[in-house]
């Protein structure tokens, strides 16, 4: 069954990422920790909400954000603060994965540039309703007056 095997691959990837994170936390140098902290500060405008969303989504069995409990769905300040306190390490891991991706992307892009290949990003023209961007920016989404999402 292809869906079962894709779940297995995702599970392996999650375990792999978790193991890599644990190893990095144990072995990283002061300069690596500084680079990570600098990345988190520079990218906080999107990274904080993205990491929080990623962990909430995982905790809610990958359900769309509009099916989460009301306190999370509508970003109630106290509920999110409590969640951040309880899930701080998982949130840090989500940020670390973005840091690793960013580092690898920059290294790949620099290498490609040295051999005459130019890479550029894309411009999204459609943002998924079930995304960190939509969840984090309620003023930019339309919602029914009864606050029931479809």
Which candidate, 80, 92, 88, places its Cα nearest to that of 18? 92
pTM recorded for the entire structure: 0.78
* pLDDT tens digits for range 22-79: 776 666 777 788 999 999 999 999 999 999 999 999 999 999 999 999 999 999 999 9
**Is the residue at 89 inside a domain?**
yes
Residue 17: pLDDT band by 50, 70, 90 thresholds? Answer: low
**Is the residue at 128 inside a domain?**
yes
Give me the domain span that covers residue 79: 30-139
pLDDT for 61:
95
Identify whether the C-beta of residue 60 lies closer than 8 Å to the C-beta of residue 68.
yes
**Is the residue at 144 inside a domain?**
no
Residue with more model confidence, 9 or 55:
55
pLDDT for 22:
73
**Is the residue at 103 inside a domain?**
yes
**Is the residue at 52 inside a domain?**
yes
DSSP string, 23-49: HHHHH--HHHHHHHHHHHHHTHHHHHH
Q: CA-to-CA distance for 2 and 6, rounded, in angstroms? A: 6
Which candidate, 72, 89, 90, 73, places its Cα nearest to that of 81? 72
| Helix or strand holding residue 9 (H, E) | helix 2-27
> Does the structure show a pLDDT above 80 at 14?
no
- Hey, what's the torsion of the CAs at 45, 48, 51, 54, to 10 degrees? -80
**Is the residue at 106 inside a domain?**
yes
* pLDDT tens digits for range 82-139: 999 999 999 999 999 999 999 999 999 999 999 999 988 777 778 889 999 999 998 8
**Is the residue at 49 inside a domain?**
yes
**Is the residue at 98 inside a domain?**
yes
Q: Give the total number of structural domains in the chain.
A: 1
């Amino acid at each position: 069954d292809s869906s079962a095997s894709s779940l297995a691959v995702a599970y392996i990837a999650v375990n792999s990422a978790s193991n890599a994170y644990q190893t990095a936390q144990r072995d990283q140098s002061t300069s690596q920790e500084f680079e990570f902290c600098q990345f988190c500060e520079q990218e906080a405008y999107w990274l904080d909400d993205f990491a929080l969303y990623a962990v909430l989504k995982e905790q809610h069995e990958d359900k769309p954000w509009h099916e989460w409990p009301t306190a999370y769905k509508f970003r109630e300040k106290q509920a999110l603060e409590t969640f951040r306190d309880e899930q701080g390490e998982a949130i840090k891991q989500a940020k670390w994965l973005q840091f690793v991706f960013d580092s690898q992307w920059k290294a790949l892009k620099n290498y490609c540039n040295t051999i005459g290949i130019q890479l550029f990003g894309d411009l999204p023209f459609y943002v998924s309703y079930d995304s960190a961007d939509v969840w984090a920016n309620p003023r930019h989404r339309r919602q029914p007056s009864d606050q029931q999402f479809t």
